[in-house]
Chain A
Amino acid sequence: MEFQLSDLQRELVEGVERYLRDAATPEAARASLDREPHGYDRELWRGLASLGVTGLSIGEAYGGMGLGDLELGFVAECAGRFLVRAPLGSTIWRSAAAIELLGSEAQKERWLTKIAAGDIAVAYVDVAAHAFAEPEIAGGRLTARFSVVADAMAADLFVVVAPGGAWLIEAEDEGVARTALETFDLLQPSADVALTGATAEPMGAAAEPMGAAAEPMGERDVRDAIRFLRQRAAVLTAFEQVGMCQAAIDGAVAYAKERYAFGRAIGSFQAVKHLLADMYVKMEIARSNSYYAGWALATRDANLTAAAAAAHLSATDALRHCAANAIQVHGGIGFTWELDCHLRYRRAHHLALQSGPARLWQDDLIDALARQREAA
């Protein structure tokens, strides 16, 4: 057992942190928001690519670094501490892994190299979460309506996964129509996507007969794969949420030290102290759950289902709590557009929805724990 970050993990995180400190400033995030309200900061994206972040867990054969999901988790946590206006969640937490898991050799060759290089953004559509009606597929053409797809306006490619199959759809296909949505998350925009006979290339492994080759975790089974991808995304998002908690706490603590009222720093008032202490405790509980889930993810541990659910539920709860109370500690100025508090408050509630209803994660968690308890 080892509960510290390895030297490699530490160096990796420090490198990303150094870069983001300069590149992912509040000013940069706001400039990007003004420039491209429905897009992302492309310069930042390329910068992350040159550091290896976009290709971190992509195999070396496709231009990535071939590192594990735990390393990616620590990077996600680091990213959460800054205002990163880039499609990490859609492209890296989700789509890249889907292509790696389900794509054919040629598809991986073609798309993973582009993702690793930071050349494209990929939106991810889990049909169960985004479609009201079953998509129709006929003759390699897909017709469907997907609502609230993150990073869809700026995406170059769509990964669509459903129990019946998985497809790649290029954004410039004429059957693709996108409608930007006004959502409250200003860091990550979303859009509705309508496909009308769009050219849909079946993803490699999914197109092959089920169980053609025995691989661990039933990775050939699309249902299992989708479930795994959902858990993976939730775990990496939990790391990001923990990083956001840290940023919320750091900001609120700094303000509580410098803001004076009644002749003393507001941070010396116990009501404020206790608010901050509770934020810290929730964050640490979420962090521990996330680190364990990151390890379970990276090692494909049998406890992944319970671990991912625990990480998601506790990090979601912690971030909503920290983001709301960071505003509280700031008082009136916390409610201004100018301050960053609201950006985290908004995103906290978007992330809470993005991984699906809490009820499903609660069921996953309790069912898994009940099974374990019965087995013991």
Chain B
Amino acid sequence: MDFSDNARDAAFRAEARAWLDANRPVELAPQLAELGFAPNSLRDADLLAESRKWQRRKADAGWACIHWPGAYGGRDASPVERIIWKQEEGIYANLSHLFFIGQNMCGPTLIDHATEEQKRRYLPPIVSGDEIWCQLFSEPTAGSDLAAVQTRAVRDGDDWVVNGQKVWTSGAHFSNFGLLLARTDPTVAKHQGLTMFFLDMASPGIDIRPIRQADGGAEFNEVFFADVRIPDSQRLGAPGEGWKVALGTLMNERLSHGTGMPTGFPELLDLAQSDRAGGRPIDDPAVRAKLASLAVRESGLRLTGLRLVGGLKRGEAPGPASSIGKLVAGPMMQEVAALAIEMQGAMGVVSEYGKAEAAARFQTMLLRSAATRIEGGTDEILRNIIAERVLGLPPEPRVDK
């Protein structure tokens, strides 16, 4: 157990830092620093264009998706090097948000299940940001109960023909490809009748309709499929193995959430130290007690992330323990935001950029963090996973298995 850099780590850190110093888009720093949470727009620049520019620059120099194999555009970096890179990239990682699903969920699924030829075709553009991916899993009647998906894929010659509907598909409106979980055999038990595919989002028969979110944004969509054809070569895993493939995707998602969520605590501490009408909030013992309770979760979360990622062997898949991260971070963000807004007094309700304090980050966090506890596995589902897969408690009796 050693939390400091050894000589090899230090050399890697120096190399990363030198490259970043010479290449990062410093002109965006002020805006990126304000985007600590759920970055979905830049004030004075086009987020997609800037994200792609930064991603391309990193990819060209071998600093994108660094833990992926070099053959697919990565750097074969060790888990510890991945940690170091993330620490060094800092606020510029906010420019990777649009690629999150492709790089953390679809990409690893391709690495595990695609053919060699497909990996060479599809992975490098994920690394460079040229192609964006989305995750077509949830449906109106299949969320937590993901294995209940009804979207049908029927074999027809060398193709599969897809009909049905997905929902809550983040980024579908600007994605090039999608990872699709579909039912291929309705006659067997529900977990056994699923198959995973990937498809071109420009395929004829796909209709994408944005959904307005509770926080006012529209990051997610409904996606309708009408006789959409997918070549059988774009199947990932055997027919009927879709559930297993999906579990791998979700595990990767949980690890990346669990280790990388900004909780807003450092910014809350800044706010607590500001002079206000009633004095500095940090001097109020009741506030200090709350700050301390958040501080130990902040450090515990960060250090647990280090232990989970850093404890993996090169290329090893994350285990169910990675569910801890989001389970702690989600409710914590709601607490951080609520405490910050309370410190801001009556002005705390103002969410308008330019008028709200701290670049409206706490108002943004307050509204967005409600979704954190739902997306990628609700708090309740994560508790079930920990109880059953980490602690080994018996599953609930089920009528659907």
Residues of A within 8 A of B4 (CB): 1, 295, 299, 301
CB proximity of A4 to chain B, nearest CB, Å: 6
Q: Say if the beta carbon of A237 comes within 8 Å of chain B.
A: no
With A1-B310, A288-B303, A369-B269 given, is the CB distance from A273 to B383 under 8 Å? yes
How many chain A residues have a CB neighbour from B under 8 Å? 56
A106-B321 Cα distance, complex, nearest whole Å: 50
Q: Say if the beta carbon of A95 comes within 8 Å of chain B.
A: no
With A1-B306, A281-B328, A288-B307 given, is the CB distance from A365 to B391 under 8 Å? no
CB proximity of A290 to chain B, nearest CB, Å: 9
Q: Say if the beta carbon of B399 comes within 8 Å of chain A.
A: no
Residue among A280, A289, A309 making CB contact with B391, cutoff 8 Å = A280
A257-B391 Cα distance, complex, nearest whole Å: 10
A2-B2 Cα distance, complex, nearest whole Å: 5
A281-B295 Cα distance, complex, nearest whole Å: 16
Encoded as 1 (CB less than 8 Å from any A CB) or 0, chain B from 287 to 309 comes to 01101110111011101101100
Q: Say if the beta carbon of B136 comes within 8 Å of chain A.
A: no
Q: Say if the beta carbon of B215 comes within 8 Å of chain A.
A: no
Residue from A269, A272, A288 having most chain B Cβ neighbours under 10 A: A288
A281-B301 Cα distance, complex, nearest whole Å: 10
How many chain B residues have a CB neighbour from A under 8 Å? 53
With A274-B387, A313-B296 given, is the CB distance from A281 to B396 under 8 Å? no
Q: Say if the beta carbon of B375 comes within 8 Å of chain A.
A: no
Q: Say if the beta carbon of B246 comes within 8 Å of chain A.
A: no
Residues of A within 8 A of B328 (CB): 281, 285
Q: Are A3 and B300 in contact (CB under 8 A)?
A: no
Q: Are A2 and B288 in contact (CB under 8 A)?
A: no
Q: Say if the beta carbon of B9 comes within 8 Å of chain A.
A: yes
Contact residues of B between 369 and 401, Cβ < 8 Å to A: 380, 382-384, 386-388, 390-397
With A1-B6, A249-B391, A274-B383 given, is the CB distance from A285 to B296 under 8 Å? yes
Residue among A3, A276, A301 making CB contact with B307, cutoff 8 Å = A3
Q: Are B306 and A284 in contact (CB under 8 A)?
A: no
Interface stretch, picked from A208-216, A227-235, A260-268, is A260-268
Q: Are A3 and B311 in contact (CB under 8 A)?
A: yes
Residues of A within 8 A of B388 (CB): 273
A269-B269 Cα distance, complex, nearest whole Å: 40
Encoded as 1 (CB less than 8 Å from any B CB) or 0, chain A from 275 to 297 comes to 01110110011101101101110
Residue among A267, A278, A306, A307 making CB contact with B394, cutoff 8 Å = A267
Residues of A within 8 A of B5 (CB): 1
Q: Say if the beta carbon of B324 comes within 8 Å of chain A.
A: yes
Q: Say if the beta carbon of A314 comes within 8 Å of chain B.
A: yes
Residues of B within 8 A of A365 (CB): 292, 295-296
Residue from A270, A281, A289, A306 having most chain B Cβ neighbours under 10 A: A281
Residues of B within 8 A of A309 (CB): 292
Residue from B272, B387, B396 having most chain A Cβ neighbours under 10 A: B387
Q: Are B393 and A268 in contact (CB under 8 A)?
A: yes
A3-B285 Cα distance, complex, nearest whole Å: 35
Q: Say if the beta carbon of A205 comes within 8 Å of chain B.
A: no
CB proximity of A362 to chain B, nearest CB, Å: 4
Q: Are A313 and B393 in contact (CB under 8 A)?
A: no
Residues of A within 8 A of B201 (CB): none
Q: Are A281 and B3 in contact (CB under 8 A)?
A: no
Q: Are B300 and A268 in contact (CB under 8 A)?
A: no
A-B contact pairs, 8 of them (CB 8 A): A1-B84, A2-B80, A3-B311, A257-B392, A268-B397, A309-B292, A317-B293, A363-B288
A-B contact sample (18 more), CB < 8 A, given A2-B2, A273-B393, A292-B299: A2-B6, A3-B307, A3-B311, A267-B387, A270-B396, A273-B388, A274-B387, A277-B384, A286-B300, A292-B3, A294-B1, A295-B1, A295-B3, A296-B3, A306-B299, A358-B289, A362-B292, A370-B269
